[in-house]
């Protein structure tokens, strides 16, 4: 086959739907330029699932990406491949780190968090109720952000000041319009804040996941369970992934219901439930559009005669795959909470499937149920097509979500 020039992904993600159509039109996988790095964007859900399950596809950039050393000092997304945690681990290292985190997100722990989430949502909605009736309210700022921050703060033992202090640097981890120097400075700020958190928890531990991980590290003399770098990296992963992604799902779910009142009517008439809204949101507007990066350990032949060569980078293009017409038909681009088949890859697939998926689902379903019960007349304050996307090719949300909670 003639070699295609890499498709350049827009760092600002200004029109990601058009971009995903273009990726799918180029085939099951196609070369893309992601901020100067060439990778194989995989937008076909069948092929993507296969690659995510293969033992010869790794997330360890240091071991399996020949370009790592030359790239990591100049690439704005270096943290995504250089951080030490289960997100970038491979094989036995991944299994070891995942076992350390999994108990905090067990079914029993998530069930125990349900009343905590209910109470937090009550407090957030009480705050909205106290606002003037005619005030335009940004629900991303006043609902979508505070709930996940409060939940992850509860789990990790962060007070409100600490949790909000991390918000700015975590948000910038998902930014793709920063220069390499700006991104490196943000990474330094991120690690400084986490080092301060680790020092504080070592001095005064509590009954929380941060203290538990620190105790595991400090009792592990040879680092066979958890190194100091992995401790920092694991905290980065749990707090950033447990916060930013859920913010986006809440944002997109509310937007989808307000943009198409028929969908809200389906829920109120019990033709579908809040969990259906959550799953269709995850399919239709997943919180992560593209997830950097994985790496081929061997040559992998592709449909149509192309080959991913050993050492090539692979970009999981979840948002494009979720709307693939081969999977969801001609109406794949439509939000339909009554859709029978809501299969999606929003939480990944295979050994790296997101451990926090049940918690995210709980948070989003709870806030939707309570928000629309408390404010049955809530509506968008601007037309849906005027909502501005976040300026990033990774994170999938809106810069603001302005609404009116009550009739004027």
Per-residue model confidence as pLDDT tens digits over 18-74:
999 999 999 999 999 999 999 999 999 999 999 999 999 999 999 999 999 999 999
pLDDT of 397 higher than 50: yes
Burial class (CB in 10 A: 0-12, 13-18, 19+), 167: middle
> Which whole number is the average pLDDT over 84-94?
96
Buried b (16+ CB within 10 A) or exposed e, 203-231: eeeeebbbbbbbeebeeeeeeeebeeebb
pLDDT of 1 higher than 50: no
pLDDT reported for residue 303? 84
Torsion of CA 187, 189, 190, 194, to 10 degrees: 140
Q: In whole angstroms, what is the distance from residue 7 CA to residue 26 CA? A: 9
> Which whole number is the average pLDDT over 279-296?
98
Q: Please write the tens of the pLDDT for every residue from 203-220.
A: 999 999 999 999 999 998
Burial class (CB in 10 A: 0-12, 13-18, 19+), 32: buried
pLDDT reported for residue 3? 62
Joined together, the tokens standing for residue 271 give 């033709």
**How confident is the prediction for the chain on average, in pLDDT?**
95
Count of C-beta atoms within a 10 Å radius of residue 199: 11
Site of tokens 């979500």: 401
Complete domains list, the chain, with CATH: 7-404 (1.10.630.10)
pLDDT of 355 higher than 60: yes
3-class DSSP state for residue 28?
Answer: coil
**By mean pLDDT, which of 108-122, 136-150, 215-229 is the weakest?**
215-229
> Which whole number is the average pLDDT over 332-350?
97
Percent of the chain with pLDDT over 90: 92
Percent of the chain with pLDDT over 70: 99
In this prediction, residue 389 has a pLDDT band, given cuts at 50, 70 and 90, of very high
Buried b (16+ CB within 10 A) or exposed e, 369-408: bbbbeebeebebbeeeeebebbebbbbbbbebbbbbbeee
E strand intervals along 211-367? 291-296, 300-301, 307-308, 313-316
> Which whole number is the average pLDDT over 278-297?
98
> Which whole number is the average pLDDT over 163-191?
94
Q: Please say whether the beta carbons of 41 and 25 come within 8 A.
A: no
């Amino acid at each position: 086959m003639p070699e295609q020039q890499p498709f350049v992904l827009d760092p600002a993600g200004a029109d990601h739907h058009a971009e995903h159509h273009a990726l799918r039109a180029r085939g099951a996988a196609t070369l893309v330029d992601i901020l100067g790095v060439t990778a194989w964007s995989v937008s076909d859900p069948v092929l993507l699932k296969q690659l995510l399950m293969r033992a010869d596809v790794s997330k360890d950039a240091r071991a399996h990406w020949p370009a790592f050393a030359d790239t990591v000092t100049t690439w704005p997304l270096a943290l995504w491949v250089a951080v030490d945690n289960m997100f970038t681990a491979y094989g036995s290292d991944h299994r070891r780190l995942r076992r350390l985190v999994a108990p905090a997100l067990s079914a029993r722990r998530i069930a125990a968090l349900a009343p905590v989430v209910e109470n937090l949502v009550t407090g957030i909605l009480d705050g909205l109720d106290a606002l003037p009736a005619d005030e335009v309210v940004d629900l991303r700022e006043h609902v979508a952000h505070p709930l996940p921050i409060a939940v992850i703060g509860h789990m990790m033992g962060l007070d409100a000041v600490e949790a909000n202090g991390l918000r700015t640097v975590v948000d910038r981890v998902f930014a793709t319009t920063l220069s390499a120097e700006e991104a490196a400075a943000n990474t330094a700020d991120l690690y400084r804040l986490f080092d301060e958190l680790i020092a504080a928890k070592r001095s005064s531990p509590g009954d929380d996941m941060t203290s538990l991980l620190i105790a595991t590290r400090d009792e592990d003399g040879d680092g066979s369970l958890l190194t100091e770098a992995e401790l920092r990296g694991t905290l980065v992963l749990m707090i950033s992934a447990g916060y930013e992604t859920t913010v986006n799902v809440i944002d997109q779910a509310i937007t989808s219901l307000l943009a198409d009142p028929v969908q809200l009517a389906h829920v109120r008439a019990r033709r579908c439930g809040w969990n259906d809204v959550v799953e269709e949101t995850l399919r239709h507007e997943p919180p992560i559009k593209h997830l950097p990066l994985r790496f081929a350990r061997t040559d992998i032949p592709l449909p149509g005669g192309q080959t991913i060569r050993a050492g090539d980078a692979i970009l999981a293009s979840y948002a494009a795959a979720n709307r693939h017409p081969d999977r969801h038909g001609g109406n794949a681009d439509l939000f339909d909470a009554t859709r029978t088949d809501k299969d999606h890859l929003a939480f990944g697939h295979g050994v790296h499937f997101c451990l926090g998926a049940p918690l995210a689902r709980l948070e989003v379903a709870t806030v939707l149920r309570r928000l629309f019960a408390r404010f049955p007349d809530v509506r968008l304050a601007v037309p849906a097509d005027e909502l501005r996307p976040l300026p990033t090719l990774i994170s999938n949300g809106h810069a603001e979500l302005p609404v009116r909670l009550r009739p004027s």
